[in-house]
Amino acid sequence: MNAWLNRFPLSASADPASPSETAALELSGACPDLKVSLNLQKEMGDRFSISGDPSGYHLSGGETGLLYGAWHLILSHAANDLCSGSVESAPRYALRMINCWDNPDGSIERGYSGRSLFFRDGKLSYDPSRIQTLARLMASVGLNTLCINNVNVRFPAQKLLEEDLPDLARLAALFRPYGVRLMLSVDFSQPMRHGVPTADPLDAQVQAWWAETARRVWTAVPDLAGFLVKADSEGQPGPFTYGRNHADGANMLAQAVRPFGGVIVWRCFVYNCRQDWRDTATDRPKAPWNLYAPLDGCFAENVILQVKNGPFDFQVREPLSPLLLGMPKTQKALELQLAQEYTGQQIDLFTMAPMWKEIFEDMPEDRISAIAAVSNWGDDENYTGHPLAAVNLFTYGLLAWNPSIDPRQAVSRWIALTYPGFTAGEHTLLTDLLLSSRRTYEKYTAPLGIGWMVTPHTHYGPNPSGYEYDLWGTYHKANHEAIGIDRTAGGTDYLSQYPADFAQKYASPEQCPDLYLLFFHRLPYTWRMRDGRTLIQRIYDDHFEGLAETRAMRDTLLSLPFPEEDRPEILRRMDRQLANAREWCDVINTFLYRLSGIPDEHGRKIYD
Amino acid sequence: MNAWLNRFPLSASADPASPSETAALELSGACPDLKVSLNLQKEMGDRFSISGDPSGYHLSGGETGLLYGAWHLILSHAANDLCSGSVESAPRYALRMINCWDNPDGSIERGYSGRSLFFRDGKLSYDPSRIQTLARLMASVGLNTLCINNVNVRFPAQKLLEEDLPDLARLAALFRPYGVRLMLSVDFSQPMRHGVPTADPLDAQVQAWWAETARRVWTAVPDLAGFLVKADSEGQPGPFTYGRNHADGANMLAQAVRPFGGVIVWRCFVYNCRQDWRDTATDRPKAPWNLYAPLDGCFAENVILQVKNGPFDFQVREPLSPLLLGMPKTQKALELQLAQEYTGQQIDLFTMAPMWKEIFEDMPEDRISAIAAVSNWGDDENYTGHPLAAVNLFTYGLLAWNPSIDPRQAVSRWIALTYPGFTAGEHTLLTDLLLSSRRTYEKYTAPLGIGWMVTPHTHYGPNPSGYEYDLWGTYHKANHEAIGIDRTAGGTDYLSQYPADFAQKYASPEQCPDLYLLFFHRLPYTWRMRDGRTLIQRIYDDHFEGLAETRAMRDTLLSLPFPEEDRPEILRRMDRQLANAREWCDVINTFLYRLSGIPDEHGRKIYD
């Protein structure tokens, strides 16, 4: 199975040497009857233009532009919305990245679709035909950069820069004709594996080691995109060990890779992960801003800070990370997570496009210069575990190309390609279901922006106090009267990290949008919402509604004519989602009922 | 290091052929100046008698009796309390067992002292000199039966009855001169590994397979004590699969081993481990009685039901299991746990002798015919992880021989043997500390018999709601007003499983001993205890006291002149215990304060 490319098998003998050759090959394979002339204009790069006349279509573009234009034609043709007018298209961001959290032993951190497609038994090990499918999936939606190994670099991943480099070069060659450049997560302390007594970024030996390593690596893989670094975070080594800051660390690496056109993507996911739950002075969401904002302007020009969409960690709902609105003199990448770590683990449906729309409503497109997403694929036959989770990978590609894409259109396009046999009515049913799936999931899980009520470590299923007395800085402090953390000026003052007009939206509980209410405010259960309901009644209502919507979702899925290769898996997972929704609904309601003693106004069953 | 036998090294060339030879050898090695004449009277078995006159000591006993008498002389001599009068001694129970939960891969389930001393890489693999030390440790305190493998029988442990049988015979030969007989945990479904299509105990093929297997096994190890079985429990196979009851299952095995003098030790730790937390009709402590009591009189005479001391699972405090007071027509063994699964994991001090005293105060000695304890040893140099945890292994041996042993005397004896250099004052300080350690641990952990507020799975450290919405049947249902489960006639009626006079003690919250209060009753935080305190104040007080006592315990340990091989480890673990006590104290107090909103009357710090 090939996700949305099922209908476009590549001929077994295909062995294109360049993206423009791939473009021609894909077109002739997928649309043999479509007349398309290709006009390579190297300077166009990723861009393409299409015009149509009675003789056929004329596609112009750079090496990769032709490939993306070819896929535009193929997918539009297949979805029956190929228009006759002319098209000009250019991607919003030059780096459109996928980050795989794959470990050399073949496991995938937060992977829910099987084992790694790249690694096994400590080494690169893969099926070339599956690699080709990945490359085609990426190219078909315009993704061009792939970091293959986990940001938590565990031995022997370091060998990718050492004796496994020839293997890496062979893998890069498989991706190259599809316009996909590889990237590597690197271990900041790696020089110390080679006799250098320190990893201090200001040490000349360290700098020399990285410079020489970059030379070796780019000699083997000349189009490597760069290095991805998780430093001083959750146990990873970094510049703090040597009393240096993150600009020192990133810039040292940037200098090493600059001669080869490489970039350093430096993650901003840094916080105190050994926090004492008794410490109320520390508020974890404040950490990234406090650490990085003072360094604005200090980073080399080939450094990109990669910032998660929210200040915590991929919760169902978080406000925008303030770093994404700040640091005007620094290049930034937005980091999303396709892997459904906290959002249902590819068991529960959670279509992300509507969430991304909200992010870009809050963040002007030009605040970032690159975009990344943690992969949701693995070696499951269908790549994404849940057949319907492929919609997130597909729509992420469209978003990375054009962040103002309409979520409905993007989801609808994926359905048209994946389930072409659906009637218009069935198509609409599934579109609506996928688009509403995030709100449904949000309703039955943690209430009103509170987050973190998941089972510790696994992050699936409810555990409302699981992280409450733990080291991770993720507390709700619910007691018999109230719940939430006050993050306004009267509390931890996290809110002050935003521009004033942005902060304004959230500053008072009377004005704050409901779904962010408990992220920013600590409120009594008897708080009156704008619609007249009490806070606790709103939470009960949401949870009962989320469960009811999940039941309805199941009925809808049962009614749809999914093909035989998808249907059993979709229905099996739907049953698991329904059980999960019931568990969440009952556990959260019981948890708050036990605390508050306030019954549901409508007399629905809340367990003692 | 050899725990309490440090001062009694065995000569390197020792290779005794029988327990009586071992007795002579140990005496001449440990007390060369003591004149002892040995008089073997085989019919005396484990029993021994000692008389003294001016010519020396005269020791009479059976093969093993001489060995136990020899150790009595050696240890009394070493502890300076060898009396000149005569001694007659016989063990209360013929089977004095240690159960090891060792897996073939070398891990130990709930082991806190390193890896297995018996297994590695899927096979028996051991250091003969350490095996000899284990055997001597057991013999020195009268223990005579050793089950070497985990009751959760995981592949390839089955091979102990198959191709690994010759290896087992060699191991048994090492233990034999020390009077220790081996036992094996067996997989009830093992016939199905050998082409038998079922494991139904009433099936003739199954019966024939076990009969033939017993013949093979006892041919290789003629003095094997028997089989230990965990059936239909936590995923282990059992007779329920075939619609048979546990008497059917146990009796089938009993018949197979009877010709060889073997016994079947059948564990009664069976309950629904997939309970829905919403289900209030099921009360886990009721499970063993409900299952086994109706089968009284149905078990073969070489079957022994092995019953944990409490109805749950080795919590800090549980009332006696009702099975231990019932089933008069059935042989029963008491099962204790030396491994500190819920009681501090050999980091926190928890001396068990006072707890065992309470058990035997509730249970007349003659209600059981055998005794077992889950081992607390492993391949750590000192065998028990914490040097002071050896006291539990030592005193368990004394208890198994004579359950009316005084805890203070037993602990004091262990200290005299282990730390002979202590002054009388130091000796008393450590004795008092060890004897009080269980109450201290109890005070800072789960309140008043409630149990289960541990971190799920690992079972170390506090997590007051960790099991609250889980499948294990272990709930406290604390809400803003009250905590606990009513197990009286007005509630789950667990209490009715006891004899009336025994139940009487616990039936009303006014009469119920404080430390069992929340095991049997659900009570409001404002409940007035007999001493006038409210329930919640009592809980706060206990926790603050437990923490303060732990601090004092640390001061005491610092003041004691432990030898250099023990001191650093003892102090390191003490620091960890103190951190753990602080965490427990604060988390439990905060948890209940958040629920109740009731502050500490004495204004001590409870975190919000």
Q: Which pLDDT tens digit goes with each residue over A183-207?
A: 999 999 999 999 999 999 999 999 9
For the entire predicted model, the pTM comes to 0.95
- The 10s digit of each residue's pLDDT in B244-284 is 999 999 999 999 999 999 999 999 999 999 999 999 999 99
pLDDT greater than 70 at residue B52: yes
Q: What are the two backbone dihedrals, phi and then psi, of residue A317, each rounded to the nearest 5 degrees?
A: -145, 125
Pairing relationship of beta strands B145-147 and B181-185 according to DSSP bridges:
parallel
Residue contact A586–B278, C-beta within 8 A: yes
Q: Is the pLDDT of residue B579 over 80?
A: yes
Residue A135 has pLDDT above 70, yes or no: yes
Least confident of A515-519, B52-56, B455-459: B52-56
Does the pLDDT at position A147 exceed 80?
Answer: yes
Catalytic residues of B: 234, 313, 341
The C-alpha of A483 sits at a distance from chain B's nearest C-alpha, in angstroms, of: 10
Distance CA B221, CA A12 (A): 63
Residues A76 and B428: their CA atoms lie apart, in Å, by: 87
Q: Do B469 and A278 touch (CB under 8 A)?
A: no
Distance CA A66, CA A39 (A): 8
Peptide bond preceding A156 in cis form (omega within 30 of 0): yes
Res B332 pLDDT > 70: yes
H/E segment holding residue A429 = helix A424-444
Tens of pLDDT, residues A413-449: 999 999 999 999 999 999 999 999 999 999 999 999 9
- pLDDT, chain B, mean: 97
Give the model's confidence band at A493: pLDDT under 50 very low, under 70 low, under 90 confident, else very high.
Answer: very high
Q: Is the dihedral of CA A518, A521, A527, A533 positive or negative?
A: negative
Exposure class string for B348-378: b at 16+ Cβ within 10 A, else e: bbbbbbbbbbbbbebbeeebbbbbbbbbbbb
User: Would residue A208 be called left, alpha or beta, if left means φ above 0 and alpha means ψ between -120 and 50 degrees?
Assistant: alpha
Task: Tell me if chain A has a CB within 8 Å of the CB of B219.
Answer: no
Catalytic residues of A: 234, 313, 341
Q: Contact A312/A520 with Cβ under 8 angstroms? A: no
Residues in chain B with CB shorter than 8 Å from the CB of A579 are none
Q: In which element (H, E) is residue A504 found?
A: helix A500-507
pLDDT of residue B500: 97
Calculate mean pLDDT across residues B398-414. 98
Which segment of A48-52, B83-87, B216-220 scores lowest on mean pLDDT? B83-87
Q: What confidence score (pLDDT) does residue B10 get?
A: 81
pLDDT-derived band of residue B537, with 50, 70 and 90 as boundaries? Answer: very high
pLDDT of residue B54: 87
DSSP structure string for B543-586: HHHHHHHHHHHHHHHHHS---TTTHHHHHHHHHHHHHHHHHHHH
DSSP state letters, B269-289: ----TT--TT--S--GGGHHH
Confidence grade of residue B2 (pLDDT, cut at 50, 70, 90): confident
Check CB contact of A87 with chain B, cutoff 8 Å.
no
B333 three-class SS: strand
Whether residue B464 and residue A464 make contact (CB cut-off 8 A), yes or no, is: no
- Taking the CA of residue A89 and the nearest CA in chain B, the distance in Å comes to 53
Whether B102 shows a pLDDT value over 80: the answer reads yes
Residue A14 binned pLDDT confidence (cut-offs 50, 70, 90)? confident
A81 confidence band (pLDDT: 50, 70, 90): confident
Q: How many CA atoms lie within 13 A of A15 on its CB side?
A: 2
At B80, is the pLDDT very low, low, confident or very high (cuts 50, 70, 90)? confident
- Averaged over B96-122, what is the pLDDT? 98
Q: Measured between alpha carbons, how far is residue B115 from residues A66, B49, B401 in Å?
A: 61, 39, 28
Rg of chain B (C-alpha set): 25
Measured between alpha carbons, how far is B366 from A488 in angstroms, rounded to an integer? 68
Percent over 70 (pLDDT), chain B: 100
Per-residue pLDDT band for B1 (boundaries 50, 70, 90) equals: low
Please provide the DSSP assignment of B90-140 as one string.
Answer: --S-SEEEEE--B-TTS-BTT--SSS-SSEETTEE---HHHHHHHHHHHHH
Residues A500, A489: contact at Cβ < 8 Å?
A: no
Residue B13 has pLDDT above 80, yes or no: no
**Residue A11: pLDDT over 90:** no
Low-confidence winner among A13-27, B207-221, B248-262, B575-589 (lowest mean pLDDT): A13-27
State the burial class of residue B548 (Cβ atoms within 10 Å of its Cβ: 0-12, 13-18, 19+).
middle
Environment class of B5 (CB within 10 Å of its CB; exposed 0-12, middle 13-18, buried 19+): buried
3-state secondary structure of B524: strand
Query: How many Cβ atoms sit within 10 Å of the Cβ of residue B490?
Result: 11
Chain B contact present for A280, CB below 8 A: yes
Domains and CATH numbers, chain A: 3-89 (3.30.160), 95-418 (3.20.20.80), 447-485+522-596 (3.90.1330.10)
Closest residue in B to A482 (Cα–Cα): B594
Are A466 and B464 a contacting pair at CB < 8 A?
no
pLDDT at B12: 62
pLDDT at A12: 62
Q: Count CB-CB contacts under 10 A for residue B36.
A: 21
Question: What confidence score (pLDDT) does residue A1 get?
Answer: 65
Residue A570 contacts residue A391 (beta carbons within 8 Å): no
DSSP 3-state of B508: coil
Decide if pLDDT at A62 tops 70. Answer: yes
The conformation of residue A44, written as its DSSP 8-state character, comes to G
Say which of A278, A479, A597 has its CB closest to residue B594: A479
Q: Judge if ipTM > 0.90.
A: yes
CB B150 within 8 A of CB B267: no
Structure tokens at B8: 């009694």
The per-residue pLDDT of chain A, averaged, comes to 97
Q: Which of B108, B116, B208, B213 lies closest to B160, judged by CA?
A: B213
Q: Is pLDDT of B426 > 90?
A: yes
Residue contact A597–B462, C-beta within 8 A = no
pLDDT single digits (tens) A327-362: 999 999 999 999 999 999 999 999 999 999 999 999
Q: How close B492 comes to chain A (CA, Å)?
A: 15
As a whole-number percent, the residues of chain B with pLDDT over 90 amount to 96
What percent of chain A has a predicted confidence (pLDDT) above 90? 96
